[in-house]
Each structure stands twice: as structure tokens, then as C-alpha cells.
Chains A and B, each alone.
Chain A
Amino acid sequence: MSKDIRVRKGLDLKLKGEADKQLVQAPQSAIYAVKPTDFHAVVPKLLYKEGATVKAGEPLFYSKYDEKVKFAAPVSGTLVEIVRGAKRKILEVHIKPDGTNEAVNHGKLDPATAGADQIRETLLESGCWPFIIQRPYSIVANSEDTPKSIFVSAYTTAPLAGDAEFIISDRMEAFQAGITALSKLTSGAVHLGVKKDSALTSVKDAVIHKVKGPHPAGNVGVQIHKIDPINMGERVWTVGAEDVVTIGNLFLTGTYQPERTVALAGTDVAEADRKYYRFIAGANVNTIVKNVNTQKTRIISGDVLTGDKLSNDQYLNFYHNTLTLIPEGNEYALLGWLPFTRNSVPSNAGTSLAKLFGGKKKVDTNLNGEERALVVTGEMEEVMPMNIYPLQLIKACMSGDIEKMENLGIYEVAPEDFALIDFTNTSKLEAQETIRLGLDLMITEVG
């Protein structure tokens, strides 16, 4: 079964520095880290102290409010350090690999014949559960829930982001097993969003949707909105494409093998290095990013619109398939506000000719202005393909008006759906942050 989705609103940013579709095995990292901060709203409870020896797939910590949800070590080795921040908040759990990669064996399981409870148990025990993200709120799914449907997007539209279809293309057997396993967990169907000329149309146990349109068409949130929108009180799950592979591998081999394929992109990466690198999850970025001056270059885990800023000695995000290096733009621009000047900066505005002078642009992190009061209207709607009033929703989040947020569709959105609004808006408003705070408020007030 195949249903097509056409997204009209949005903006494709054409940037320089795309990664070449060439897969490289990344070198071993000296230390691997699991970062509780990658899992929004999870309060970690540690299971081991520093110095303990763990196997790959052995839980390191669990969620305080959902004890069945466990977070596992990606490699076998010694737990060398627990990095804490303010108020002793756990930031990173460091594991020094012992090289043997001895893994916990959960036993092979054929997802096609296995029961839903069995699959759920295996996912929870193995540490694969955190791959499952719940909408609303965009947090790790509750271990008790049965979602009305599960969404996987193998269509990537974000600028410079690692192409999901390419990343999974060499592991189709595991991907299929993962999809089959997930299809057991929902009362509805697994929906797979793919690009127009995709090779994934033969995937079984899922409804395939060919998605066409500019970014954010590849965002799973947009696909949910077009296919099966979330209503108040409903739960939908989303899983990243490569995460489905990891889940599939769990059932095929019985072990937790969290691979993370990362597209190294951006103009500050040497052209020869712009490739796809396959890591074990939690590797340090310094295994492939070397000699970077972070005063001049920004390392972003994730794409340029939604990613996190990293130093050159930090670890890959649990979910991200992209590592972008772009120049810091801490430079002044003389009379930079003159209309129709600085056309080298990408823009969706009519006061820039950037769109006319096509071609790929080199970007930096300059804010290109200062924060101002909200004056201009209509520009957010241009890049928001959902039937949602973005400005009004953002204002409702700012004022913390829960009823208004519900009415305006807070359950259907995640911060990433507002990334382009961050980019385009004239007032330099932090839309993603505002939406995240709004969602956090909903979690505490509504749950």
C-alpha cells in the first residue's frame, strides 16, 4: 500500500559542503560515552559506580520515572568516569572499551512470529527502547503505552543532513526485521516516509508514503500531520531510520549493536573528508574531527538547523546522523541591513536576492541582526507546512497558556518542526527553544 504526500510550504536550503555518499568505517574511539542529556526529560538512576566492568548492551542507568526504560553501554569495557554538572546532574557516562566487545545475548527472536509482549520486553531489556520517541512532547516513549501508529522517516530534507536511505541501504535485512518488530507494538500501522524514487518501497509490514516537497517534508512530524495527526490524549511513536536497523539487528543476532552512521559535512571539513562514517554509538568526535579551532569553527552534532554545539572533545549524540562543521560568523558587516546586499547569505526574505542567485551557499553562524520585538507576520507560515498557526502557538507557549497551546496544536509539534522558523524569522526569535519550554510545561502540567 502506498500513499503519496505532497508538502508545499517550506524551504530547501542549498548549502555548500555536502557529504559524499561513500561509507567509511570510523576508527575506534578511546572512550565511548552515553549522555543522559541526549534523552530529554529523563532523570537517570545509575546502576554502576566508576570502575565497574560492563558488557556491551548491559544497562548503565535507567529512567527514574519509568524504571523499565534502560540505557545500555554501547561497548564492553570499564566505566571510567561519570561526568557531573551543576547540582551533581549526570552529564556523561564514560566507558573505556576493552576491545573484546563482549555483548549481552538476549537470544535470537523472529519478529514475524514473536508476540508483542516478548518484543516489548526484549526492547526494554536490551537498551533499544530509548530509540523509540513519543509524540506528543518528543521524549523517550513510555514503556506501558501502545501507540496508535508508529512513524519512520527515511526521507532526509534537512540541509547537509546524512541521507537516511543511504545510511540504511546496506542493512536492509535488519531494517525489515526492525519494521516488523515495531509493527507488533502498535494498534495501527507503521508508516514509512520515503523519497519519491526510493528503493524502500518493497519494505513489508509498513505503509509506504512517498513524500515530496521542500524541508521540513522529511521531518517525521510533518508526515504524521499529513497521514494520521495526533489528537489530544493520543500517543504516536517515531523511530529514526538507522535506529530501526539497530532494533532489527537485536532480533537477528540477539545482541545490542548500536551503530551510528554520521555524515561529516560542512564547509569547514576538508573536501576529501566529507563522507559517511560508521561509528559505534557514543564515540568521541575527535576520532574524525581533528585540529579544529572552535573559535573559528563550530562543530554541530546534527544538522545546522536543529543540532547541538559541541566542543572538539565531546561525544556524538545518541540520535544524530550528521556532524556539521561550519565557520563561526563572529564578524561585523558594514551596513549589513541594506536591502539586496549580502546575497551570499541564504535567505527566504524578499529583501535579499539570495534566491535569485541560485547555487549552493556557504553559511556561518552569524545571527545577521539582533533580537527584536515581533513585528513581521506571515513569514513563519511560509515555512510551516502543518495546519497550525505558528506565531500564535509560540506566543501561547511564551505565556504558558496551556488551554491555548492545546487548542493550537501543541501535541502535534516538536521543536525540530520550528527549526525553519528559527532560521527565517526577522525578529531572531528562538522558536525551537520556546516550543521546547512549552512542551516541558505540558509534560509537568498534563503529562
Chain B
Amino acid sequence: MKWVRNKLDQARKPFEPGQKLEKFAPAINAFDTFLFTPNHTTKKGAHIRDVVDLKRTMITVVFALIPALLFGMWNTGAQYLYQERQLGSVLDVPFWDAFLEGAILVTPLILVSYIVGLTIEFIFAIYRGHEVNEGYLVTGLLIPMIFPVDIPLWMLALSVAFAVLIGKEAFGGTGMNILNPALTARAFAFFAYPLYMSGNAIWVHEGSTDAVSGETILGALAGGTYDGEIMGAAAESVAFTGVPVQESSVMTNISFNDMFMGYIPGSVAETSALMVLIGAIILVATKVGSWRIILGGLIGGAAMGAIFNFFGDLGSDFIMQLVDSDRITMDQVYNDASAVDALNLSGWDATLMELGTNQLINFPFWQHLVVGSILFGIVFMATDPVSAAQTFKGKWIYGILIGFFGIMIRIFNPAYPEGIMLAILLMNVFAPTIDHYVIQANVSKRKKRAKKAQVKLQTA
């Protein structure tokens, strides 16, 4: 250890103040402080300091991401090999085959993200003369985790550059950004290269060339291709009973268990609710992620899903009435548009018919929380302290609204089944406003108290 320290001290010499490479000190410092917590002592203020620093905090988030990442590697490989080898189930793929295949596919994404992002961070640190902040350790890992595996590397690089330059550095660097940088990268790619970021074919490696589609559950729900007859029946029992939504013609073999464990197509590492929950436990236990935001997000999402379920229920009740009175058969409701037209429904009845047949609306709310990246978004993206609300009350409001809007966008706009991304970005923008009103309440309380004291003084 001493030997390493001495070598480092030697290597640092040209970077000391007054030396030739003084300007590049942040670069060497970043490596040095990575190996050793520096020997700096307190100069003013409290003489003793907590052991926690930003490095420790950020590394903890990285640790929390690792289960999801490793699972994502396995899942990416497994989904691909499952199609390639025409196996009966994703789980039939030998574990190491799947993991290695996935690692080979995912590692380049991680490397590109880190290299591009950290290069920009280092340049800005040197340019601005401050130390390299550790925030990108997390962002750089998050970005590849929320991209589809087949994204061309140059697109990823461009998205990362956009996120770091425009999303972060343009606002003043770490701690100053309005939007979550990782989501900025995804949003950039989503709108700049929609063909590579959405659709049915992109979620499994080489999915487009394969006979089996790599469609996500949300895509299937939005397209109405989730099996209709069963949906109708499921809507009656509303699946509150815990019976998993049955597999559809397109999405064979997907059960609630699959969704929860994450054996489903999707972005690289967001599919497994279980792994995300493990990450959430790490974040909450270490107080690094705000439990208020996470819980708020879940409550908000569940509430919005339940509201839609309620209306979906009304719709399916209506359809059941029609079916019972033999005006239409269940099969026709889902598969024969002309038969539905022939009913000549109008007004509220037509709306009820829509509600009853919309699969996204009838998808049970608790399953809404498990599919897609809503859980991943709430746990790892919404909790980014810089772009989130900063007050305790604000965090509750912020979290609840993210869940609320996430599900709302998902259901209302089938073109964006991944509503959580837009919901978080939207709430990022509104977080300062939420905080403003929370703080204003404190301010007006203080002003009221002052006024009361003044009145008391005058009457005295």
C-alpha cells in the first residue's frame, strides 16, 4: 500500500500547483482519490466529519444497479438464444450460454457510455477547474441499462454526449441539472431514432430478422393483440384474485411470474421487477435513495391503474350485459368490428364499449407496476436527488405524481407505452415548482407568526 502511495505521489508531481501540468490536476486527482481517500483535514467549520462522501454514495447506487444489470445480461442472452434455438421456454437456455451471450452484447454499450460520458466530464472538470464529480458513475451505467440491446453504438454515443453536454454541463454540471441525464439520453434517442427505440422488433437481439417477434407486453396491450377473449373473461374477475393474466396468442408463455422475474423482452436491464426491488432495498436501507419517492411512485401508479381498472370494469360489465342479452357474442366484441358497429352504440355506451375492450385499461393495476420500466424508473431514475424534489413533502408529491402520470401516459397514449420516462422528465421540470410551494408554506407560516407577534405587541 505504501509503495502504491509513493508511486502515486511521484506521478502527481507534475500536476502540483505551479508545475507544468497544473491544469490537468483534476484528471490525476480523479484516479488518485479513487484509490485513496485523500489526507485532507478540516480547515474550518466542524473539526470532525462524517465518513460519507459523494464517491461512497454513488458507488452504493452502482451496487444497487448490479443485480439488475447482471440479470439483464442473462436475460438479453437468454431471449436471443431462446429465439435462435427455437426452444420451448426462455428458461431452457443454458445459464452460462445465456449470460455470456448477453455479456458480449451488453458490455460494448456500457463501455461506450462510460468512455464518451467520462471523457466529457473530465474535459469539463479541467476546463472549469473543479474536481471530477462522481455522478457519472451512476448515469453511465444507467444509460445502457435502459436502451434496447441492438441500438447502434454511435447512436448511444450521441445520446450520451447530448445528455452530458446539454442535459448536464449546459446547466452548470453535477448538482445543477434540471433533468435526469440518463433519461435525457433515452428521450433524445427515442425522439431522434424512433425506429431503433420503439416497435415490436427491437427488444430482442436480432429480433427483426427472426420469425418470433420480440414484442413487449405493453406493446401487445397497446396493439390489442393480447388475447381478447381471455381479457374479457379476466376483466370479469378483474384478476384481483391473483390469477395471472393468461398468455395470448402472440405472447405465449408469459405469466405474472415471468413478468415479476423478468424473463420477458425489454430494454437491457429493466425487465426484472425482482432485481429492481433488490436494488430498491439497497437504496432505501442505505438512505441513498429516498423511500418517500419510491413509495409515492408506487402509490401514485397503483392509484391511477386502479382508477382505470374501475372504468374498465364498468365497460366490461356493459359488454357482459350485451352478451347476456345475446346482442353480440364475446368473440365478436374483440374480433369483428362490423358487428360492434352494427350495435349502433352512441354516447356513454360507445365509451363503455371502448373502455371494456381497451386492454391497457383492463390490465390489472398491480401488474401495471411490474411490466415495463415503471418500477425501474421509480427506483433508479426518480430518486436521482438532483433532479427530484428536495423537500420531504415535495418528495411525496413528486413521487406520487410520477406514478400517476407514468400510468396515465402509458394508457392514454399507446404510442408511448413507456410513459414513465416522460412522466419522470415532466416531474423533473416541475420538481422546483413543487419545492417552491412546499417552502412557501413554511415561509407564510413564519410570516403569520411574525404578524401575530406584532399585533400582540401593539395591543400590549
Contacts and interface: CB of A to CB of B under 8 A. Distances in A.
Interface of A: 13, 229, 231-234, 298, 300, 304-307, 309, 324, 326, 328-339, 342-343, 345-352, 354, 363-379, 381, 387-389, 391-392, 407-409, 419-420, 422-428, 430-433
A375 B57 contact: yes
Contact of B51 (A231, A334, A349): A349
28 contacts: A231-B450, A304-B48, A306-B46, A330-B39, A335-B35, A336-B37, A337-B55, A338-B56, A339-B286, A345-B50, A346-B50, A350-B285, A351-B60, A352-B50, A352-B56, A370-B38, A370-B131, A373-B173, A375-B57, A378-B290, A378-B395, A409-B446, A422-B46, A423-B49, A424-B52, A426-B52, A428-B49, A430-B45
B41 interface: yes
Contacts of B453: 231, 234
B46 A419 contact: yes
B41 A337 contact: no
Contact of A364 (B1, B48, B435, B450): B48
A229 B34 CA distance: 45
B52 A352 contact: yes
Given A229-B449, A332-B37, A389-B439, 10 more contacts: A334-B35, A349-B50, A349-B286, A368-B49, A370-B53, A372-B134, A375-B175, A375-B386, A426-B57, A428-B49
Nearest to A335: B35
B46 A305 contact: yes
Nearest to B1: A334
Contact of A350 (B53, B288, B386, B449): B288
B48 A332 contact: no
Contacts of A335: 35-37
Contacts of B435: 392
Nearest to A13: B48
Contacts of A346: 48, 50-51
A158 to B, nearest CB: 11
B44 A433 contact: yes
Interface string B43-73: 0111111111111110110010000000000
Nearest to B391: A389
Nearest to A306: B46
A431 to B, nearest CB: 7
Given A350-B288, A351-B288, A375-B135, A432 B47 contact: no
Contact of A351 (B5, B35, B57, B290): B57
A321 to B, nearest CB: 16
A339 B49 contact: no
Contacts of A432: 44-46
A423 B442 contact: no
B45 A376 contact: no
A242 to B, nearest CB: 22
A365 B48 contact: yes
Given A332-B38, A370-B38, A408 B47 contact: no
Contact of B45 (A298, A381, A391, A431): A431
A300 B446 CA distance: 36
Contacts of B454: 231
B45 A433 contact: yes
B332 interface: no
B248 interface: no
Given A337-B55, A409-B446, A428-B53, A363 B48 contact: yes
B291 to A, nearest CB: 10
Closest 7 CB pairs of A and B: A369-B53, A336-B37, A373-B175, A350-B287, A337-B55, A349-B52, A350-B286
Contacts of B35: 334-335
A366 B174 contact: no
Contacts of A407: 443, 446-447
B50 A423 contact: yes
A349 B63 CA distance: 16
A374 B175 contact: yes
B388 A377 contact: yes
Given A326-B47, A350-B285, A422-B49, A366 B439 contact: no
A389 B37 contact: no
B385 interface: yes
A338 B1 contact: no
A378 B390 CA distance: 7
Given A304-B46, A339-B59, A407-B446, A372 B53 contact: yes
Contacts of B63: 339
B15 to A, nearest CB: 15
A365 B439 contact: no
Nearest to A412: B446
B392 interface: yes
Interface string B429-456: 0000001000100110111011001100
Most buried by B among A329, A342, A370, A408: A370
B52 A332 contact: no
A424 B418 CA distance: 38
Given A375-B175, A387-B442, A337 B450 contact: no
Contacts of B173: 373
Given A351-B286, A375-B175, A370 B40 contact: yes
B54 A369 contact: yes
B176 interface: yes
Nearest to A369: B53
B131 A342 contact: no
Nearest to B172: A373
Nearest to A391: B390
